[in-house]
Amino acid sequence: MTHKIRYGGDYNPEQWPEEVWDEDHRLFTRAGIDTLTVGVFSWSLTQPAEDTYDFTVLDRILDRAAAEGRQVCLATGTAALPPWLAKAHPEVNRTDFEGRRHRYGQRHNFCPSSPEYRRHATAMAARLAERYADHPALLAWHINNEYGGVCYCDLCADAFREWLRNKYVTLDALNDAWWTTFWSHRFTDWAEIEPPNALTEHWRGPDHTAFQGITLDYFRFTTDALLGCFLAEKEVIRAHDPDTPVTTNFMGMFRPLDYHRWAPHLDFASWDSYPPLDAPPTWPALAHDLMRGLKDGAPFWLMEQTPSTTACRDVNPLRRPGELRLATFQAVAHGADAALYFQMRASRGACEKYHGAVIGHAGRDDTRVFREVAGLGRELELLGDASLGARTPARTALIFDWDSWWALEISDGPSRLVKYQEVLHAYYRAAREAGADVDVVPHTADLTPYDVVLAPVLHMVKGDLAARLEAVAARGGTVLTTFLSGRVDEHDRAFPTDVPGPLAPLMGIRVDEWDSRPQDVVQPVELGEFEAEARLLFEIVQPRGAEPVGTYGADFYAGTPAVTRHAYGQGEGWYVATALDQPGVDWVIRSILTRHGLLGPYADQPAVETATRVAPDGSRLLFLLNHTADPAHLTAHAAATDLLTGKRVGEGEPLTLDPLGTAILRIQ
Ligand code: GLA
Ligand code: ZN
């Protein structure tokens, strides 16, 4: 067992003759690689025909890994259909949003409701588990790959109706939830219900629906249908292997699937990080924290990242020297106990042949990328077990809610320009750059550990959440919410009360009107001495106990509150009624964090990211990540040892970070 951060990645030696494997392992040793994810796309090899299984190549891959002292994360390989299966049972192929039944091609191409798919996928998983459960190389199970996509076939339509029957029991309940009296939609037979797509409720694509309730339920159904595939494979694995942890690789902030519904069923969370081009460092950080939040703060695996470039985008920039190292330590800072790549050796053919790899087509070990990967491998060895199993002691929580995300972005009105991730990110970024550790949690999370709870664009309010938020404020905490929060119930029906619905008592306000404007309309918002800019949506707030903190500067509502604060119990409820620019959000968040003493020691250097992890032995690690191309000059806030260099620094002494540099300080 390796007592260090797991290091390695996706490895497809079945694409190569065995001489190449010798070379691979020689290079893996040089780079400190200990973990290989294998079998992700090997179904047509391990089952070349309906009644033929052939594990000879996979046997050799695992035996070789074991002989080299490496371990494998073994995939069930069920994310890409073998051609014979698609031919023999055409209904395993998906039907798309336009209603077209696809023929064989690509990957992530299976219908989640197809019994034939389910039967073959579970048969494969069972055989793999039976064969490899006790293999010395086996470290973890990796079911399928990046679950996603939607199917609208007749099998899915039937499965959807069945799902609805379970949920609503009666058609009256369903008609009430979906508000079907609108546009003469009252259903009198379950068979009348159609999946919402381009042939039925939608126009202008997946976000434009006549019935939000129907579309929301189809998103939920799709989450559950794919989860059902995962659970079926997990169950047969468990029949042969009761202990080895099981995961599937997620995609961070991936809108189509509500990962919170999956979380209880994973033994550990893992995800693939490919940040959008030009995303600020807080973007992948938010995704890391979301993934850590899936398992209540337990460490996760970074299952994939590119060592250099992606291939699927129109433009695929290189990671600059030092960027890979910084991104990897950032993942560790946020809770990763494994740092894996896609991919170990570049494919020679097909659409990913130009995707970055640890080993390129020429098989060299003297490329810049290989040297950086190997250098990082040495540093991870040096770090050893220092961060393994460590937890983030956050006092600030950000509520992330897929239902709110969906409801907001499929809504007709008030504005198609408000994007859930962008608003959440602005608040997350403000808190992180001010030095606060943040847990990103579901709406059902226990909120008692937190001083500050941020719930931006919490469009949908479900269950007892409003009461739990009130309890946070009552005991002295601060709760923040924003425009377009507290609007709808779990079925996307508007609350028949003043906006912001169940959040109104805590916020001490009432909103009757809102003004949605194009991107180029700017409202000045005065925040004390500071003037911020606001855009997109301007809610007109009537204080009902709250005091104004910021006011609009223009239009007929000039002088009315844009930001309010409401004393509630020992604490406060803050309402931000418009999309403030980042400096405005920073101002609000820093005011709140200051009240709770949560500004970090390096809050004056927002480009130096800080993150704390507390190891199981109680030692406190402070990660300092310099996201700029210039050195960062800090003054150490405490005596500490940098685990990467072994250097000690005293409190008040100068501490310099190289450009893109990282320090991992063990605080004394
Ligand atoms: C995803 C997949 C991999 C590979 C990479 C390429 O994360 O899981 O199989 O296609 O993207 O970036
Ligand atoms: Zn289907």
Q: Is the CB of 146 within 6 Å of ligand 1?
A: yes
As a whole number, mean pLDDT of residues 129-143 equals: 98
**In the prediction, which pLDDT does 665 show?**
98
- Rg of the chain, C-alpha, whole Å: 26
Distance (Å, whole) CA 506 – CA 512: 17
pLDDT tens digit sequence for 160-215: 999 999 999 999 999 999 999 999 999 999 999 999 999 999 999 999 999 999 99
Query: pLDDT band at residue 532, thresholds of 50, 70 and 90?
Result: very high
pLDDT in tens, 343-365: 999 999 999 999 999 999 999 99
> What type of residue is 346?
A
Q: Match 């104004």 to its residue by tokens.
A: 548
Quote the Cα angle for 54-55-58, to 5°.
Answer: 140
Q: Is the pLDDT of residue 1 over 80?
A: no
**CATH superfamily placement of domain 608-667:** Golgi alpha-mannosidase II (2.60.40.1180)
The CATH architecture to which 396-595 belongs is 3-Layer(aba) Sandwich (3.40)
Among candidate residues 84, 79, 85, the one with its CA nearest the CA of residue 37: 79
Ligand 1 mean position, distance from CA 66 (Å): 25
The domain locations on the chain are 6-144+242-383, 396-595, 608-667
pLDDT (0 to 100) of residue 171:
98
Measured from the alpha carbon of residue 39, the closest ligand is 1
Report the distance separating Cα 455 and Cα 469, nearest Å: 9
Tokens of 591: 């005011």
Question: In the structure, what pLDDT confidence band is assigned to residue 507 with cuts at 50, 70 and 90?
Answer: very high
Orientation of helix 18-31 relative to helix 56-67, angle to 10°: 30
pLDDT at 483 over 80: yes
How far apart CA 542 and CA 125 sit, in angstroms, is 59
| Cα–Cα dist 23/26, whole Å | 5
* Gap from CA of 472 to ligand 1 centroid (Å): 41
470 is catalytic: no
CA dist 101 → 107, 153, 154, 512, 627 (Å): 15, 7, 10, 46, 47
Is residue 643's pLDDT more than 80? Answer: yes
Active site residue 201: no
Q: What is the mean pLDDT of residues 2-12?
A: 95
Ligand 1 pocket check for 274: Cβ under 6 Å: yes
Confidence of residue 427 (pLDDT cuts 50, 70, 90): very high
The catalytic position among 304, 372, 379, 539 is 304
How far apart are the CA of 146 and the centre of ligand 1, in A?
Answer: 8
The CB density around residue 404, as the number of other CB atoms within 10 Å, is 25
3-state SS of 291-311 is HHHHCCCCCEEEEECCCCCCC
C-beta 11 within 6 A of ligand 1: no
Pick the CATH number of 6-144+242-383 from 3.10.100.10, 3.20.20.80, 3.30.1360.170, 3.90.78.10: 3.20.20.80
Mean pLDDT of the region 386-407: 98
DSSP designation for 264 = G
Phi, psi of 181 (to 5 degrees): -65, -30
Cβ-contact 144, 76 below 8 angstroms: yes
Whole-number Å distance between alpha carbons of 413 and 612: 41
Average pLDDT over residues 542-554: 98
Over 162-206, what HEC string results?
A: HHHHHHHCCHHHHHHHHCCCHHHCCCCCHHHCCCCCCCCCECCCC
pLDDT (average), residues 242-260: 98
Residue of 32, 24, 138, 17 lying closest to 75 (CA atoms): 138
pLDDT of residue 2: 66
Matching fold, domains 6-144+242-383 and 608-667: no
Nearest CA to ligand 1 atom 12: 310
By three-state DSSP, how is residue 563 classified? Answer: strand
What is the arithmetic mean of pLDDT over 226-249?
Answer: 98
The reported pLDDT for the residue numbered 317 is 96
Distance CA 139, CA 240 (A): 15
pLDDT tens, position by position, 80-125: 999 999 999 999 999 999 999 999 999 999 999 999 999 999 999 9
Mean pLDDT for the stretch of residues 35-51: 98
Q: What is the mean pLDDT of the chain?
A: 98
Task: Please work out whether the CB of residue 482 comes within 6 Å of at least one atom of ligand 1.
Answer: no
| 8 A C-beta contact, residue 573 and residue 473 | yes
Residue 230 pLDDT? 99
pLDDT cut 90: percent of the chain above it = 99
Strand 452-455 relative to strand 396-399: parallel, antiparallel, unpaired? parallel
Q: Percent of the chain beyond pLDDT 70? A: 100
CA 206–ligand 2 middle distance (angstroms): 17
Please identify, by atom number, the ligand 1 atom nearest to the C-alpha of residue 249. 8
| CB-based contact 252:271 (threshold 8 Å) | yes
Mutate to test the pocket of ligand 1, among 109, 272, 308, 343 (most ligand atoms within 8 A of CB): 272
pTM over 0.75: yes
